[in-house]
Amino acid sequence: MAADMAIAAPTPARRAVRKPRPTPLEYGRKRWLQAVVAANFIFLYFPIVSLIAFSFNDSKRNVTWQGFTLKYYDQAFHNSGLQEAFLRSIGIAVTSTVVSTVLGAMLGLAIYRYRFPLKGPFEGLIYLPIVIPEICMAMAMRSYFGQFGIPLGFMTITISHIAFSFPFVAVVVRSRMAGFDESLEEASRDLGASPRQTFFNVTLPYMVPGIVAGALLAFTLSLDDYVITAFTSGPGSTTFPVKIYSMVRQSVTPEVNAASTVLIVLTLSVTVIAMWIQSRSGNKSMAS
């Protein structure tokens, strides 16, 4: 591409020859459509990019640019409430991810491999936590813990996070298994391996990319969740998003923007890794 440009650049006439007027179907080269696309991307990116940019702004009011600073990151980092909430969020996300990955991977494999009565409705039930409105699930979980007198805190948040995360893992693992060649298992059994050896040496290694992608997805789902967490957490168990919410309710300061930027960078990088693993393993499903 670069070499191509180097040749083309000094001769504008040749460039003009190479770029004739758009043919009727080259919508991508129509000026008005390019303008609409640009407007869409400005709409999609302006709020987030300005939020990130103003976390580096050397001014308390988020209005005009006063120069670059990292002091709000320093402030956010030394805010003991934020720090505590961040560590709690990581703890919940790790616990939820471990349990969700184990439950989801096993269930995904079971759904892929076995025929059983009421399989259709059961699969519908697995999709239910993914499709129902968040507030309905949040209120159901809150009422449930309240009804049985379980105090709201780390445990209730984690239980709820597992409940909405592991179906995603099951879906991802199952879509990974769709490309599995079962004759590999038969070959392993023919060569004298036990069912157990076959599982650990043939099936499980094939599942790994799906399991890892599912685990990363579960991690970001847990770390990012606000609605369900807010209603299953007690006074002493604030998570990072819940803390950000309560800070936003007071006022949108550069410090909140700094904390938000940290969360954006963290979840975005985990998601990108998950998507990369999934696409590399040849399974291009947009499970999220």
For residue 231, the minimal CB distance to another protein (Å) is 8
Question: At its nearest, how many Å lie between another protein and the CB of residue 157?
Answer: 12
User: At 57, is the secondary structure helix, strand, or coil?
Assistant: strand
Whole-angstrom distance, CA of residue 111 vs CA of residue 88:
33
Contacts of 172 (CB under 8 A, 6+ apart): 104, 108, 210, 213, 214, 217, 278, 285, 287
Q: Which stretch binds another protein (CB under 8 A): 2-10, 70-78, 89-97, 261-269?
A: 261-269
Q: Which of 82, 93, 141, 211 binds another protein (CB under 8 A)?
A: 141
288: Cβ–Cβ under 8 A, 6 or more apart, which residues?
Answer: 168, 217, 271
Q: What is the torsion angle, in degrees rounded to the nearest 10, for the CA atoms of residue 115, residue 117, residue 123 and residue 125?
A: -160
> Toward another protein, which CB reaches closer, 17 or 135?
135
What residues numbered 154-173 form the site for another protein, per CB under 8 A? 159-160, 162-164, 166-167, 170
Q: Which is nearer to another protein, 94 or 275 (CB)?
A: 275
> Crossing angle of helices 119-131/80-113, nearest 10°?
160
Assign 253 to helix, strand or coil. coil
Residues 184-213: x/- map of binding to another protein (CB under 8 A)? Answer: -----------x------------------
For the record, the structure tokens of 165 come out as 């995360």
Q: Which of residues 108-127 bind another protein (CB under 8 A)?
A: 109-111, 113-116, 122, 125-126
Distance of CA 189 to the CA centre of its chain: 38
- Report the site for another protein in 46-65 (rule: CB under 8 A): 46-48, 50-51, 54, 61-63
* 181 binds another protein, rule: CB under 8 A: no
- The phi and psi torsions of 68 (rounded to 5 degrees) equal -80, 135
Kindly identify the residues of this chain, within the stretch 227-256, that bind another protein according to CB under 8 A. 227, 231, 241, 244-245, 248, 252
214 binds another protein (CB under 8 A): no
# chain residues binding another protein, by CB under 8 A: 84
94/106 with CB nearer another protein: 106
Number of residues that make up the chain: 288
The answer to whether 96 and 218 have CB atoms below 8 angstroms apart is: yes
132 touches another protein by CB under 8 A:
yes
